[in-house]
Amino acid sequence: MVFAMRILCFEDAATAKLAPIVTGRPAYAINCASYHLLDWLQRLERVVLGSVRPHLHTIQSLDYGLSTANSELSGKPLLLVNARMVPSKANYQALKSLLDRPTGCRIEDSQGIVAAVLPEGWKPCDPEHEAPVGQVHFDETIMAAAAGQPLLDQSELSAKFSLFEWPHEVVAWHMKLMPENMEIRIAEDDYTQLQDGLFVADDAVLGEYAIIDSSDGPILLDRNVKVGPFCYLSGPVYAGPGTRIIEHSALKDGVALGHTVKIGGEVEASVIESYSNKQHHGFLGHSYLGSWINLGAGTCNSDLKNTYGKINIEYPGERVATDMQFMGCIMGDYAKTAINTGIFTGKIIGVGSMLYGFVTSHVPSFVNYARLFGQMAEIPPDVMINTQARMFSRRSVEQRDCDMQLIRDMFRLTAEEREQSDDLSLL
């Protein structure tokens, strides 16, 4: 009997370098240019499984509908896909070419395995003792089996695989992929073209006196999107289902909004995940915002150095040259800003933090950041759980046990960020 190949999307050790983007979500769920990697994997029309960090197991099952691998897969063909893979058509086509391979192979980069094919009849082995094992640590046995497959040169594929290594690369790839991804959506989805370059779902509403500029790319308004009057939309722009674009907003040069977002002010070349609010005036540019974020009125970020030079970012233990002249901020889920907050160029904001005044340094997770006023303090997880309950209620979203546990887990997993902060005075 021949078994159809299944797909196992796995997180590797390098996933941790994508924090705070992936602190509360699987790496395959990163929004980049309006698509997630999971969107492309599901196009392959195979059963997709997920191997994620332990604190995301329940979230993976309930929110993404993926099961974990188990010993029943032993000997059945598997396509392994690194969850850090960029959600692009080129990567999709390269993966598609691997589905029909009759023999095993692995593709690697400097970080480890990018993708691998385990052919029918493969045997799981203990990575240390090379002995058959059962259910316990089955993911590790799969990776050990993948490491034993012949190395495949990427020149034999239709395209070389691209993966995220650092958070700023999500913004860089977003800008690169937006034009192509918008054309894919127009070709495949059921949009009505209202005017040149403006495509809308049936129940989307465009306010009066809107100015539409599609000279650099189309504008796509998905289901139940509401655009207020006097808005300026310069493509490529994608507004996800249920998004509200507030009157007098300006969205331009590559903006991708998740579902149920409220957006206002000026937004340029940025990704905003679902359920986040930037409802008031203020500038956001070349940035990534996670979910359940709220930016207070007047919040602005810088995305250009005064010297006009390329931007370097200090990640834990490593200074990275982004090769980007424009780079704003990376903000983790549940972060909040007070009115008139100013975020300096290339800053990383951890999950669950609250910002006041000028943000001149990276911000650890779960911190009240008011450095301008000489105050920084840890935010207990119960405070964020209570805040989560109020936010969910406003959006008619049920607060589940797993949502509260995720807050506790993220607090625990980010303890080292706060311990290593030089100017954090815990109360």
CATH of the domain at 335: 2.160.10.10
**Model-level pTM?**
0.94
Range with the poorest average pLDDT among 160-174, 250-264, 321-335, 359-373: 359-373
pLDDT at 100: 83
The Cα–Cα gap between 364 and 84 comes to: 23
Residue 161 lies in a domain: no
229 and 116 fall within a common domain: no
Residue 34 lies in a domain: yes
The Cα–Cα gap between 406 and 60 comes to: 12
The Cα–Cα gap between 125 and 131 comes to: 5
Percent of the chain with pLDDT over 70: 95
Enumerate the β-bridge partners of residue 364.
none
Tokens representing 325 are 């002249």
At 344 the three-state DSSP class reads coil
What are the angstrom distances between the C-alpha of 63 and each of 28, 51, 279? 12, 14, 26
Residue 201 lies in a domain: yes
Range with the poorest average pLDDT among 240-244, 365-369, 416-420: 416-420
Name 225's Cβ contacts closer than 8 Å, sequence gap at least 6.
200, 201, 204, 205, 239, 240, 241, 242, 243, 244, 245
Residue 74 lies in a domain: yes
Closest listed residue to residue 83, CA positions, set 26, 131, 139:
26
123 and 220 fall within a common domain: no
* Amino acid making up residue 215: S
| Domain edge (last residue) among 125, 156, 187 | 156
Q: For residue 101, what pLDDT band results from cuts at 50, 70 and 90?
A: confident
Burial class (CB in 10 A: 0-12, 13-18, 19+), 317: exposed
Q: Give the distance, in angstroms, between the CA of residue 202 and the centroid of all CA atoms in the same chain.
A: 28
Tokens representing 253 are 């040069």
pLDDT at 131: 42
* Amino acid making up residue 423: D
CB-CB contact of 41 with 28 (8 Å): yes
Tokens representing 114 are 């990018």
CB-CB contact of 49 with 64 (8 Å): no
Residue 228 belongs to domain spanning = 168-360
Burial class (CB in 10 A: 0-12, 13-18, 19+), 254: buried
Q: Give the N- to C-terminal CA distance of the chain in Å, as an integer.
A: 64
300 and 332 fall within a common domain: yes
Tokens representing 138 are 């089955």
| Domain edge (last residue) among 330, 360, 390 | 360
Q: Is the pLDDT of residue 81 over 70?
A: yes
84 and 138 fall within a common domain: yes
- In the block, tokens 């959600």 appear at 87
pLDDT digits (tens, 9 = 90+) for 194-237: 999 999 999 999 999 999 999 999 999 999 999 999 999 999 99
Residue 404 lies in a domain: no
Q: Is the pLDDT of residue 128 over 70?
A: no
Q: For residue 33, what pLDDT band results from cuts at 50, 70 and 90?
A: very high
Total count of domains within the chain: 2
Q: Is the pLDDT of residue 241 over 80?
A: yes
CB-CB contact of 281 with 324 (8 Å): no
Rounded to 10°, the helix 401-413/57-64 angle is 140
Residue 378 lies in a domain: no
Closest listed residue to residue 265, CA positions, set 288, 297, 243, 292:
297
Strands in 16-56 per DSSP E: 48-51
Residue 392 lies in a domain: no
244 versus 421: the higher-pLDDT residue is 244
C-alpha gyration radius of the chain: 22
Tokens representing 166 are 């650092």
Rounded to 10°, the helix 381-394/401-413 angle is 140
| Domain edge (last residue) among 345, 360, 375 | 360
88 and 195 fall within a common domain: no
* CATH number for position 40: 3.90.550
What are the angstrom distances between the C-alpha of 317 and each of 17, 92, 208, 300, 320? 11, 33, 51, 28, 10
The Cα–Cα gap between 35 and 37 comes to: 7
